[in-house]
Structure 1
Amino acid sequence: MLKEERREGVGDSVMLRGLKVIAVAIRTEPRVFTASVLASALYGTMTVGSSWALGWATEHAVLPAFREGRVEGGAVAAAALFIVGVAVLKALGVMGRRILAGITQYRMQAHSRRDVTRQYLRLPLAWHHRHPTGRLLSIAHSDVEAAWAPLAPLPMALGVILMLVTAAVAIVVADPVLAVVGFLIFPAIALLNLDYQRRLSPLAMRAQQLRAEVSEVAHESFDGALVIKTLGLEEAETARFRERAAELRDANIAVGRIRGLFDPLLEALPTLGVLAVLLVGSIRLESGGLQAGELVQVAYLFTLLAFPIRALGWVLAELPRSVAGWSRMRDVLDATGSMEYGTARLAGRGPARVEIEHVSYGYEPGAPVLKDVCFRVEPGRTVAIVGPTGSGKSTLTQLLVRLIDPDGGAIRIDGIDLRELAKGELSAAAALVPQQAFLFDDTVRGNITLGLPIPDDEVWAALRLAQADEFVAALPGGLDTRVRERGATLSGGQRQRIALARALVRRPRLLILDDATSSVDPQVEQRILHGLREGTPDSTVIVVAYRMATIALADEVVYLEQGKVVAQGTHEELLAGCPGYRDLVTAYAREEAERAAFGRGTDLESTGEEAMA
């Protein structure tokens, strides 16, 4: 829907671009929008009709009462019914206009948020790496709201244009001379509006940009709360946020100043027109060229002109923010780099065969993280990926589950290139457990099943394999215990084991562990890995590992350095024949021995588990 709209030309004025954005909404919700405009037109017509009612009541009820010294009941009743009927229709127009305008605006916001969210999910992880999360959240919230902000006052503005035309015709019919006098204000209003837009547009667009920047800083602060607290950087982070917030405040104040200057002027001009009409009208009334009822009607109609002008001003004031929000939203909807899927299916059962052929990948052009990586994993085997920091191990795990696509080469499962698989095939066959385990603000059961209809006995079986059944059983509600946002009530090792159980309960044919037991003490880790070898015969396991005891359990080791496969073989073979591998794993072993000697390596999470128990 919205994705099909073309980006506005760079040379277009803000007003023209804003009108194009509004046109998108009209094409998307034509019925509701048309109904809201008709309701507004009813309101505008009845507002003018109230002047006719007042003029008729003045001529047929008020003035006869002064002349004759008595009031006729029929005339008063007719005047009252006329005025009340017009007021009822006017109220219905107000209700219909506001309700339907709100429906149009909120529907367009919903359409846009769904489109933006679908695009976020469709775009590959490589695209997300290049865009801050705070900015993406700001686009889905603040920019979407700004893009459709003009829809709230728009039906009223369009409806009161009819009111403006109707009032102008009624003024001309009542007295052409007074019409000429009053209409002299319109050129002045047009010039004032043009100057208003010229001054307001850059300020409003800057304010919208700063809203996104404030959101980015806030989101980054929330995500980095642990670092900020532990390093005592609260004041520095507060100052960083204060600086952006102050810029946004100043930008909003600048917008407010412009509005504060021009809004009174826009309202004052029609008032000056009314004064001119009353002055000339009183002269014509004395000369007999005008009836008192006609003067009342014309004067009242000119007082109504201020409202249509204000309504148009509200729409024009929202257009710069709308254009800024729309432009940022289109940047997302027009983004390229989506993952294309094929039609191939994985027909095999049991452990998967994995082939990595000449794979290269870089997050930035000219800076490859992986270079011509080649190795093969036979079905049912356990392979450890080992390498120093920055050698590309985590990048390789993301490629294996196709979070990103390689720049060169191919990755195959059961002989099929991952890019040829139908959507959902790989996620049904492979599971990745990352080092940073993410848990939702949900129950333990909800975090493991993620909405799938998985029986509790299978959930408990997965928890036993992950060595998590004991601490989960000790929680106050067992599987029904809520773990709060990001699993805040659990220790790091407990979160990792819940994440491992989440993967195991799906019985993947390919299980990838990216240092997924780093927060678990060595004894528990050994039980987990032994359990995986015994309890997952239908899985091929690829594990990013550091501890020598973990690596020794693998059937084969692939050693990476600077994005290349340097050596491949058993743990013993690499210890004997690869100096870099030997230095790395023995260094980890020495570190663990030293920690154990100082009494810090025995149980890294005992305190957390005891507290939860």
Structure 2
Amino acid sequence: MLRRGLGVIWGGMKTEPRPTIVAVIGSVLWAAATVGTAAAIGYVTDQYIEPAVLQRQVEAAALWTVFGVLVAVLVVNVIGVILRRVFATVAGFNLQARYRRDVTRQYLRLPLSWHHAHPSGQLLSNAHADVEATWQVFNPLPMAIGVVFMLFIAGTMMVLVDPFLAFIGLLVFPGLFAANVVFQRFMSPRITLAQQLRAEVAEVAHESFEAGLVVKSMGREEEETERFRTQTHELRDALIQVGRTRGVFEPVIEAIPTLGTLAVLGVGTWQVSRGELGAAEVVQMAYLFSILAFPVRALGWVLAELPRSVVGYDRVQHVLQAEGSMHYGRATFADRDGPASSELQDVVYAHPGEEKPTITGVTLEIPAGSTTALVGPTGAGKTTLTNLALRLVDADSGRVRIDDVDARELQLGEIPAVATLVAQQTFMFDDSVRGNVTLGESASDESVWEALRIAQAEGFVRELPDGLDTVIGERGGSLSGGQRQRIALARAVWRRPRLLVLDDATSAVDPSVEQAILAGLREARAGMTVLVVAYRMATITLADQVVYLEHGRVVDRGPHPELLARCQGYADLVHAYAREAAERAAVAGQEETQ
């Protein structure tokens, strides 16, 4: 653990060399000034204090000399402390910022399949608590380096004053090393457990917040409170164990230098009584050990942080070295305009951890400028197929092509530039309507209103207090589900994609509104291809071709009337959709007449 901890520190020093070097220089100045204080006190005691005591008088010149020597040492000490603290803080926070950026960039590079296997609370903990734990050691580190330098100077001075007395005092360091070995053995597993429990607490909290509607509507407040209480109590108990271990270790670290000081005073007094050593030399030695007592704690702080740093570093590296990042080539769509075509060739895909493929041998052609509807029962693989078409996940085998270019060979960012997905579960940022449509890109009000018009969102947005500038709250909490879906659709339309993928993106709106949205898309479709996961007849009948899926396979495809006539499974499903829509319309009509 000690070797690995030093490796983490060395890596951090190489990453932030300039502030680390300045902090170490400041720490060396502080160490030299601190040891110089002992030498100055020994010198003053020998040259001025003892003669003044013997002569029973003090000269003004002697007082000014003493004052000047001590002030000079103090100034150097203060400069060293300022450099050490300021630049140690800079180095530590620079490392935290750098690694947080690296972790979040890696999150963006990793495919959805990797994210599906890692809870979001754990990912938050990796980016925050684990990064902080890794580099917290840089706060006491420069001081600890200065202490090593200080110990070298002090040890040399002690040996020059009296080798035997120096040997007695320096016995404290084997004791410090032995205490650290025992500490590392007990602390490492406790720190590992505590860091894991931090991630679990974050995950429970995140789930509870995300599922606030479910918790409230199902009356599960007490159960969620109990679940959170159980996790936090486990974390509390783990942190108490860490604190107890520190509570035993740190007093030992503090006591060992004090014992060294007492030993030096005892042996030194005995030597003075025998005439083998002068009082000034004993004072100098005792003062050296007294001023070393606090700085040596910095070594203890570093040693105490090392297990936490190693555990945090391992958890961060688990993310940074994760496999599954998607390969990107150098191909581009150049200046191609107009609707894009898409093609899947014998595609097979299984979700991570599952042996049975979700998509099996699907071959599908989506002509440029067409509207293709994916229809199938729940679990047929419709959403997975849309993710494959947009290369949100990579197929285990087979090929996905967009405009006759293999999706794996396209540059990073090429597909999002021409294709857009509107999912059933829409996400809204805690931002204005404009910000949620443009996602921070510059845009004219006219273009935003046009996208909202196509998505049938113009009417209710104009009624909002500040129109486009109305902040809709976290996850669009001030809007209904249908309104959120329409803004999400406007977000996609505003980008004028060449390929638009709708994954049941109008499920929360009324059928009449859905028909108006589809009509608007038909008007705007001259420049785009549409792939839609469809459940309603209005959507299905709009499509140029319908693809019917069952168990991850394409059972049949063709225009809606042809499939209705020749595919029994498709006919049964569509009739079920129609019956459900009729029942809903009947219920709605009864409610209006009551």
> Does the alignment reach a TM-score above 0.5?
yes
- What is the distance in 1 between the residues matched to 2:316 and 2:440? 30
Which stretch shifts more, 373-382 or 544-553?
Answer: 373-382
Q: Which of 567, 574, 579 does residue 585 from structure 1 map onto? A: 574
Name the % identity. Answer: 56
1:424 and 2:410 matched: no
Is the CA contact 1:444–1:480 (under 8 Å) kept in the aligned structure 2?
yes
> Superposed, which structure 2 residues align to 1:169-568 within 5 Å?
169-346=156-333, 347-364=335-352, 365-568=354-557
User: The residue matched to 2:256 in structure 1 has which SS?
Assistant: helix
Provide closer, same or farther for how the CA distance between residues 189 and 555 of structure 1 changes in structure 2, counting only shifts above 3 A.
closer
CA distance in 2, matches of 1:69, 1:596: 111
SS at match of 1:70: coil
Equivalent residue in structure 1 for 2:31, among 2, 21, 44:
44
- Contact 1:383–1:542 (Cα < 8 Å) also in 2: yes
Q: Aligned pair in 2 of structure 1 residues 92, 575: CA closer, same or farther (>3 Å)?
A: same
Aligned to 1:8: none
Deviations 1:248-275, CA, capped at 9 Å, x for gaps: 1111111111111121122112222222
Report the 3-state secondary structure (helix = DSSP H, G, I; strand = E; otherwise coil) of the residue aligned with 2:350: strand
Equivalent residue for 1:571, pick from 537, 554, 560: 560
Task: Name the amino acid aligned to 1:402.
Answer: R
Structure 2 counterpart of 1:356, one-letter code: L
Deviation at 1:460, TM superposition (A): 0.7
> 1:341, 1:104 → 2: CA distance?
34
Secondary structure of 1:508's aligned partner: coil
Task: Spell out, residue by residue over 1:484-534, the C-alpha distance to the aligned partner (whole angstroms, 9 max, x if none).
Answer: 111111111111111111111111111111100001011100100011112
Structure 2 counterpart of 1:152, from 123, 136, 139 = 139
SS at match of 1:442: coil
- For 2:311 and 2:411, how far apart are their aligned partners in 1? 38
SS in 2 for 1:410: strand
Amino acid aligned to 1:344: A
Q: Which moved more, 1:54-63 or 1:88-97?
A: 54-63
1:176 Cα deviation after fit = 2.6
- Return closer, same or farther for 1:375/1:602 CA change in 2, 3 Å cut-off: farther
Q: Which moved more, 1:174-183 or 1:317-326?
A: 174-183
Aligned residues: 590
1:30 aligns with 2:6: no
SS at match of 1:513: strand
Bigger mean CA offset, 181-190 vs 45-54: 181-190
Tell me the amino acid that sits aligned with residue 325 of structure 1: G
**CA displacement 1:198-234 (0-9 Å, x = unmatched):** 2222212221222122222222222222212211112
Is residue 596–residue 602 contact of structure 1 (8 Å, CA) maintained in 2?
no
| CA distance in structure 2 between the partners assigned to 1:415 and 1:433 by the alignment | 23
- Say what the alpha-carbon RMSD is for the aligned residues: 1.7
List, as ranges, runs of 4+ consecutive aligned residues in structure 1 with deviation greater than 4 Å.
600-603
Q: Which residue of 2 aligns with 1:136?
A: 123
Q: Give the 3 Å change call, closer, same or farther, for CA 188–394 of structure 1 in structure 2.
A: same
Q: Alpha carbons of 1:600 and 1:466: their partners in 2 closer, same or farther (altered >3 Å)?
A: same
Q: Deviations over 1:386-415 (max 9, x none)?
A: 111100111111111110111222222222
**How many angstroms does 1:602 deviate by?**
8.7
Q: Distance in 1 between matches of 2:358 and 2:190?
A: 43
- In the alignment, is the contact (CA less than 8 A) between 1:357 and 1:373 conserved in 2? yes
Q: In the TM superposition, what is the alpha-carbon distance from 1:56 to its structure 2 partner?
A: 2.3
Q: Secondary structure at the match of 1:217?
A: helix
* 1:58 aligned partner: 45
For 1:477 and 1:113, the matched residues in 2 are separated by 36
Length-normalised TM-score, structure 2: 0.96
The 5-angstrom pairing of residues 83-102 of structure 1 reads 83-102=70-89
Aligned to 1:4: none
* Residues 1:57 and 1:548: Cα distance change in structure 2 (over 3 Å): same
1:341-369 Cα shifts (integer Å, max 9, x gaps):
22333253212222222222110342111
In the TM superposition, what is the alpha-carbon distance from 1:58 to its structure 2 partner? 2.2
Distance of 1:345 and 1:184 partners within structure 2: 69
1:110 Cα offset (Å): 1.4
CA distance in 2, matches of 1:277, 1:385: 86
Instruction: Give the distance between the partners of 1:184 and 1:118, measured in 2 at CA.
Output: 49
Aligned equivalents of 1:242, 1:100: Cα separation in 2: 40
150-159 or 237-246: bigger deviation: 237-246
Distance 1:261 1:410 in 2: 61
In structure 2, stretches of 5+ residues that fail to align are none
Report the alpha carbon displacement of residue 300 of structure 1 after superposing the two structures with TM: 0.7
Offset, 1:448? 0.9
Is the 1:210–1:248 contact (alpha carbons within 8 Å) kept by the matching residues of 2?
yes
How far does residue 162 in structure 1 lie from its aligned partner after superposition?
0.9
Deviation of 1:600 (Å)? 7.7
Question: How far apart are the structure 2 equivalents of 1:226 and 1:276?
Answer: 68
Residue equivalent to 1:9: none
Deviations 1:4-38 (A, max 9, x none): xxxxxxxxxx1111111111112112222121111
Note closer, same or farther for the CA distance 1:189–1:390 as it changes in structure 2 (3 Å cut).
Answer: same
Distance 1:456 1:565 in 2: 43
The residue matched to 1:531 in structure 2 has which SS?
Answer: helix
- 1:60–1:75: 8 Å Cα contact kept in structure 2? no
Q: Displacement, 1:592?
A: 2.2
Q: Distance in 2 between matches of 1:93 and 1:287?
A: 40
CA offset digits 1:138-168 (Å, max 9, x no partner):
1111111111121111111011111111111
Q: Cα offset for 1:601?
A: 9.8
Give me the whole-angstrom Cα distance separating, in 1, the residues matched to 2:97 and 2:482. 39
Greater mean alpha carbon deviation, residues 145-154 or residues 274-283: 274-283
Separation of aligned partners in 1, 2:106 and 2:173: 46
- Secondary structure of the corresponding residue to residue 498 of structure 1: helix
